[in-house]
């Protein structure tokens, strides 16, 4: 294991060395895409929080640089998806107000959408819920999920497909556009 030694001091020392070496690189990389110092700082923190939380399963024979940058890329994609969803929400709200139409868009909110999605995810079978969360929330690739759960990549693909189909089938139609942008883009 990479930093899962029984010696906590050694684990912390190795982690600090990795942080000192890679944090500036991740910050610069993230800032080039996110165009925000604050978001780049949060990216660095989240990358290393995830790395620390995964220290027991990290394999020292694997390329740690690839793991760190893959995590950063996934988090950047998540952030850009979130921005896209927020922008869409704002544009829909502006469109709704400009049309002076007080339809269901008046009641549309990101919180309602997330609550509905969370409720639907909770209804999924345990393995499907776990795979979907690892894929769409944590941003892991199908290969990473298959390796982590010791299942085939095909099983992962199948479970993500079924989870997305379940969400599309059960999501309130007024939120469908948000679902598409948040989980498919």
- Predicted confidence band of residue 96 (pLDDT cuts 50, 70, 90): low
More confident: 163 or 136: 163
Q: Is the pLDDT of residue 54 over 50?
A: yes
27 touches 42 (CB < 8 A): no
Q: What is the DSSP string of 35-55?
A: --HHHHHHHHHHHHHHHHHTT
More confident: 70 or 59: 70
Question: How does pLDDT run across 97-124, given as a tens digit for each residue?
Answer: 554 444 444 445 566 777 778 888 889 9
Question: How does pLDDT run across 65-95, given as a tens digit for each residue?
Answer: 888 988 999 898 888 878 777 776 676 666 5
The DSSP element (H or E) to which 119 belongs, if any, is helix 110-122
Distance CA 87, CA 108 (A): 14
Domains of the chain: 1-81 (1.10.1740), 109-185 (1.10.10.10)
pLDDT for the residue 107: 46
Q: pTM of whole model > 0.75?
A: no
pLDDT for the residue 136: 80
User: Whose CA is closest to 64, among 131, 15, 24, 28?
Assistant: 15
- How is residue 15 written in tokens? 């982690």
- Predicted confidence band of residue 176 (pLDDT cuts 50, 70, 90): low
């Amino acid at each position: 294991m990479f930093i899962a030694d029984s010696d906590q001091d050694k684990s912390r020392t190795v982690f600090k060395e990795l942080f000192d070496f890679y944090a500036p690189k991740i910050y610069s990389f993230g800032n080039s895409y996110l165009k925000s110092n604050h978001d780049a700082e949060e990216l660095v923190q989240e990358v290393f929080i995830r790395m620390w939380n995964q220290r027991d399963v990290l394999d020292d024979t694997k390329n740690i640089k690839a793991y760190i940058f893959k995590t950063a890329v996934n988090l950047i994609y998540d952030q850009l998806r979130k921005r896209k969803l927020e922008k869409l929400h704002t544009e829909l709200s502006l469109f709704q107000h400009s049309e002076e139409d007080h339809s269901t868009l008046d009641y549309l909110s990101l919180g309602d959408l997330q609550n509905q999605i969370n409720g639907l995810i909770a209804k999924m079978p345990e393995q499907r819920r776990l795979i979907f969360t690892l894929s769409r929330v944590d941003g892991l690739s199908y290969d990473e999920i298959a390796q982590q759960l010791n299942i085939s990549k095909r099983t992962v693909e199948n479970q993500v497909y079924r989870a997305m189909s379940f969400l599309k089938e059960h999501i309130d139609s007024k939120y469908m556009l948000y679902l598409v942008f948040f989980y498919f883009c």
